[in-house]
Amino acid sequence: MIARLLISCADGPGIVAAVSSFLAARGANILSSDQHTTDPSGGRFFMRMVVRLADGEDDGGAALERDFAAAVGTPLGMTWRISYPARRKRVAILVSREEHCLLDLLWRARRDELEADVVRVISNHPDAAADVASFGVPFAHVPVPAGAKEEAEERLLELVDGCDLVVLARYMQILSGGFLDRLAVPVINIHHSFLPAFVGAEPYRQARERGVKIIGATAHYVTEALDAGPIIEQDVVRVSHRDDVEALARIGRDVERTVLARAVDAHLQDRTIIDGSTTVVF
């Protein structure tokens, strides 16, 4: 069985040795390892290890996690988690009218490029129903009428219950802090600008007005502050004075869907660790 170990803690000598000796003693082989230290003196330490567990570890990780906590995690004051690729994550996708990011994720999921099952698509518009149905994924229409956001969020909470990740694939409603708290799983959003440029509405119009020569897209974890969550991935594309707002939006769509897909992929592969208002992406 393959396991992935993600760790963050105060930096100090012996962390890698403690972890790798624990794993070696247990017969686990380290397949890959990435680490990062924000500052060699007094900084924070981050590590991602992929290991092949010994054949005996057949209880789904319970013993491993208990022993790791006792021997390494707790003594060294670590924040850590272990995940198992064999347990595919369950993903819900929220979308409004623009369907390019949604379709791209569904295509990738069908092609088995994503390490997850898309278990539900939810939209505040009915438009995407037929597309989603053709992928055999359940679709739910949850309108958000003016003044009835609370009820809509209740309905959303029911529908995404049991999911490990919620992806906002151009979902144009702002989710309340209360919703995010109760949801309690990560939410990834795609913003159609190179953040922190052009926060908020109509970023392509803002970009046109400012006359930028490059536009971009940003995938980030959602926090209550609008467009301010930790950035996972960004990319850009060159534009010119010839591109009006519609052209920018069309060109931007290609960047949006690619950036969102990369960010979702990085999250699903447990390559991301949040570090305050930023992310470490291994």
227 an active-site residue? Answer: yes
Q: Which of 127, 227, 235, 275 is catalytic?
A: 227
Residues 79-108 that bind a copy of itself (CB under 8 A): 100, 103, 107
Distance CA 212, CA 91 (A): 35
H/E run at residue 220: strand 214-221
Return the number of the residue (154 or 223) whose C-beta is nearest a copy of itself: 223
Binding to a copy of itself in span 7-36, by CB under 8 A: 12-18, 20-21, 23-24, 27-36
Q: How far is CA 2 from CA 32, 51, 78, 117, 150, in A?
A: 11, 6, 21, 19, 41
Distance CA 158, CA 152 (A): 10
Residues in Cβ contact with 98 at an 8 Å cutoff, skipping those fewer than 6 apart: 170, 253
Give me the 199-238 binding string for a copy of itself, x by CB under 8 A, dash otherwise. ----------xxxxxx-x-------------xxxxxxx-x
Site track for a copy of itself across 128-167, x = CB under 8 A:
--x---x---------------------------------
Name which of 205, 206, 208, 228 is nearest 218 in CA terms: 228
End-to-end CA distance of the chain: 21
Residues of this chain that bind a copy of itself (CB under 8 A): 12-18, 20-21, 23-24, 27-37, 40, 52, 100, 103, 107, 111, 113, 130, 134, 194-198, 209-214, 216, 230-236, 238, 240-242, 250, 254, 258, 261, 275, 277-281
Q: Which residues are catalytic?
A: 227
